[in-house]
């Protein structure tokens, strides 16, 4: 096959743009050859259960799936009756970026709440957590939070625990979309289970694609009493891989050692480098017209640019508008972002915004 893409092409649009980490590629190769039973009855998927238990404790179950939307849909389906509803932020991926799949495929109602920083609180949850027993209202039975959030912010351990206690007291359960869960752990400096199982999260979508995998996410049932039917829902929703060993092998390589943390820590460090360099340029008066709209707590930077600047920068570096009306943009760093990438982008911003 002829290589079609430019190996020098770099950007800040998404941590999904990166390739596959070499250690993950090696794991796929090592899992190849000979025959293994299909549909998850293989040695690698069995080993994956042990690897996840080493991070989250005994008694959990891991269900590998193809992608994050699938993980969220079937995870939430398993937590809800047909009349159930999910309280989430208005910026949540399940609300804004999954093509309506949670409601159309999952068959449950979303109850979005506006937040300033992408984070739910007990008080915000209560804006939609009401009406139990009212036959005219979809019943709010799950709260879903994202770690790190779609705005790049991270819930602390105490914040997650407060939400879990709050929803459990109301007879609800707590779901976490962990597409960037490794970035959150790296940012907080705590083990994965500290802000998940130990804090009261019931079901977790564990992300891998944004942290070096070719494809694959996992639904983790951390509280067995909160979920049922995942064995059937995974197949029903077309998320059951026949050659599951190749998804499981990737997660084993990611989580058996510290690759998950190395990758996420590097991505976070590159985002911090980018923000720091731009803040220094603002403080020195080198650039004007740039401001930041959210704290940088992971591998995402949210900034506001003057009109026209984003389009000119995108001639060399791909990234997305977050709110075109205000000029807000999002810059993402990944496991393969280099210091040279950051320095080149900073130089481009200085050329555009030089005082």
Render pLDDT for 96-106 as a digit per residue (tens, 0 to 9). 999 999 999 99
Whether the predicted pLDDT of 204 surpasses 80: yes
Please tell me the distance from the alpha carbon of residue 269 to that of residue 334, in angstroms, as a whole number. Answer: 10
pLDDT tens column, 26-77: 999 999 999 999 999 999 999 999 999 999 999 999 999 999 999 999 999 9
Cis peptide before 148 (omega within 30 of 0): yes
What CATH code is assigned to 22-257?
A: 3.40.640.10
pLDDT at residue 10 in the model: 87
pLDDT band at 8 (very low <50, low <70, confident <90, very high): confident
Q: Which residues of 195-209 are buried (b: 16+ CB within 10 A; e: fewer)?
A: bbbbbbbbbbbbbbb
d(CA 134, CA 144): 22
* pLDDT reported for residue 7: 85
Q: What's the pLDDT at 9?
A: 86
pLDDT at 355 over 80: no
Q: Domain locations in the chain?
A: 22-257, 260-353
* Fold: same for 22-257 and 260-353: no
Partnered with residue 63 across adjacent β-strands are: 219
**CA dist., res. 44 & res. 51, Å (int):** 10
Range 297-321 average pLDDT: 97
pLDDT of residue 275: 98
State the DSSP code for 256: S
Topology (CATH level 3) of domain 260-353: 3.90.1150
Q: Which residues make beta-bridge pairs with 88? A: 112
Q: How far apart are the C-alpha atoms of 218 and 204, rounded to whole Å?
A: 8
DSSP 100-166: THHHHTT--EEEEE--SSS---HHHHTTTS--TT-TTS-EEEEEEEESS-TTS----HHHHHHHHHH
In sequence order, the 6+-apart residues with CB closer than 8 A to the CB of 312 are 352
Element containing residue 330 per DSSP (H, E): strand 328-332
Instruction: Work out the percent of the chain whose per-residue pLDDT is above 70.
Output: 100
The reply to whether the predicted model has a pTM over 0.95 is yes
Q: What is the DSSP string of 219-251?
A: EEESSGGG---HHHHHHHTT---TTTHHHHHHH
Contact 38, 261 (CB under 8 A): no
Residue percentage of the chain with pLDDT more than 90: 97
Pairing of strands 139-146, 84-89: parallel
Contact in structure between 143 and 174 (CB atoms under 8 Å): yes
Task: Read off the pLDDT of each residue in 206-229 and give the average, rounded to a whole number.
Answer: 97
């Amino acid at each position: 096959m002829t290589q079609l893409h430019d190996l020098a092409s770099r950007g800040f649009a998404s941590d999904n743009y990166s390739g596959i980490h070499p250690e993950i590629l090696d794991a796929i190769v090592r899992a190849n050859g000979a025959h293994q039973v299909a549909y998850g009855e293989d040695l690698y998927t069995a080993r994956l259960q042990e690897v996840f238990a080493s991070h989250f404790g005994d008694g959990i179950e891991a269900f590998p799936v193809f992608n994050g939307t699938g993980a969220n849909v079937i995870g939430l389906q398993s937590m809800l009756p047909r009349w159930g509803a999910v309280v989430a932020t208005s910026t949540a991926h399940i609300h804004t970026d999954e093509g309506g799949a949670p409601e159309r495929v999952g068959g449950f109602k979303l109850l979005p709440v506006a937040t300033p920083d992408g984070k739910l609180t007990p008080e915000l949850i209560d804006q939609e957590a009401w009406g139990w027993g009212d036959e005219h209202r979809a019943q709010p039975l799950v709260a879903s939070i994202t770690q790190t959030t779609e705005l790049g912010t991270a819930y602390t351990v105490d914040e997650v625990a407060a939400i879990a206690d709050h929803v459990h007291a109301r007879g609800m359960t707590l779901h976490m979309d962990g597409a960037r869960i490794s970035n959150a752990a790296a940012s907080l400096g705590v083990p994965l289970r500290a802000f998940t199982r130990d804090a009261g999260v019931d079901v977790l979508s564990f992300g891998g694609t944004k942290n070096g995998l070719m494809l694959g996410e996992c639904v983790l049932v951390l509280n067995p009493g909160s979920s049922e039917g995942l064995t059937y829902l995974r197949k029903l929703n077309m998320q059951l891989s026949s050659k599951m060993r190749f998804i499981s092998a990737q997660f084993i390589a990611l989580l058996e050692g510290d690759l998950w943390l190395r990758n996420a820590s590097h991505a976070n460090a590159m985002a911090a480098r980018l923000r720091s360099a731009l803040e220094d340029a603002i403080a020195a008066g080198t650039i004007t017209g740039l401001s930041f709209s959210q704290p940088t707590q992971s591998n995402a930077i949210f900034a506001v640019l003057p009109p026209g600047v984003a389009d000119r920068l995108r001639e060399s570096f791909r990234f997305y508008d977050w709110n075109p009306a205000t000029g807000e943009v999002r810059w993402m760093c990944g496991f393969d972002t280099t210091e040279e990438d950051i320095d080149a982008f900073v130089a481009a911003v200085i050329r555009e915004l030089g005082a």
